[in-house]
Amino acid sequence: MKNWVLGLCIGVLMCGCKTSPTGRTQIALYSSTQMAELGNASFEELKKSTPIENEPTVNTYVQCVANKIINELPNELRNQQWEVVVFKDPTANAFALPGGKIGVHTGLLEVAKSQHQLAAVIGHEVAHVIAEHANERMSQGALVQTGLQIGSAALQMGEVQYRGEIMQALGLGAQLGIVLPFSRSHESEADIVGLEYMAKAGFDPNGAVLLWENMNKNAGERQPEFLSTHPAPENRISKLKQALPKVAPLLEQAKAEGKRANCKAV
């Protein structure tokens, strides 16, 4: 039985291996079509349950920034029918979903003080889609669940004492040792990939640093980084600053090609 389980796991991993935009090995078990269907369904539900901002100036501004980022995406993603919606929500948040969906909360526009800062957020969120992070998270969750089920069965078959307590410990270990670090690595990767795309679109990458400084000022008390799905803002800002010299040539190339950041902030 052990050999059968090991063979199955190896087969799944080999079939689902991909490489992220930064060269990191990924496990992605779901197809692009499946992910797009999930993204579309989730977005439709959000539009039903969350008020939508219809003010033309706001929508024109957000759409302008989003379009410039979208125009720099790989062909397969750029040629999708993208939908951008501004939701009436006071939280400083935005998101992008597989299937070509972007949502921006009105609260974000209070924190992202310029088109460059808004481009940093939209670039970051679209980078999650480019890197298939949703697919990776779902795949990771499925594999962790399968591993815990196999572990539980093995403990039961071996009549191991305190197996309930052991399984609880394994579940916590999976959360702290696998799920949360994966999420933090996704956020860090999306920061860097998003920085590249905003620069390619003609936005100033320094806007990403200024944005997270604003976010940090508005943040309340935070739990320790090892218990969080996001990197600590100080670490995030430091890594973004380190990446600025690497993306500077992309901005210069964009300017040489006549790409200009000319979205009028509201």
Selecting among 37, 44, 53, 125, the annotated active-site residue is 125
Per DSSP, the residues of the chain read -HHHHHHHHHHHHHHHEEE-TTS-EEE--S-HHHHHHHHHHHHHHHHHHS-B---HHHHHHHHHHHHHHHTTS-HHHHTS--EEEEE---SS-EEEETTTEEEEETTHHHH--SHHHHHHHHHHHHHHHHTTHHHHHHHHHHHHHHHHHHHHHHHHHTT-TTHHHHHHHHHHHHIIIIIHHHHHHHHHHHHHHHHHHHHHTT--THHHHHHHHHHHHH------GGG-SS--HHHHHHHHHHHHHHHHHHHHHHHHTT----PPP-
Report long-range pairs for 91-94 (Cβ below 8 Å, ≥24 apart). 92/215, 92/218, 94/121, 94/122, 94/125
Residues 221 and 150: their CA atoms lie apart, in Å, by: 38
Q: In the sheet where 101-105 sits, what is the strand order? A: 83-87, 101-105, 94-97
125 catalytically annotated: yes
Residues that are catalytic: 125
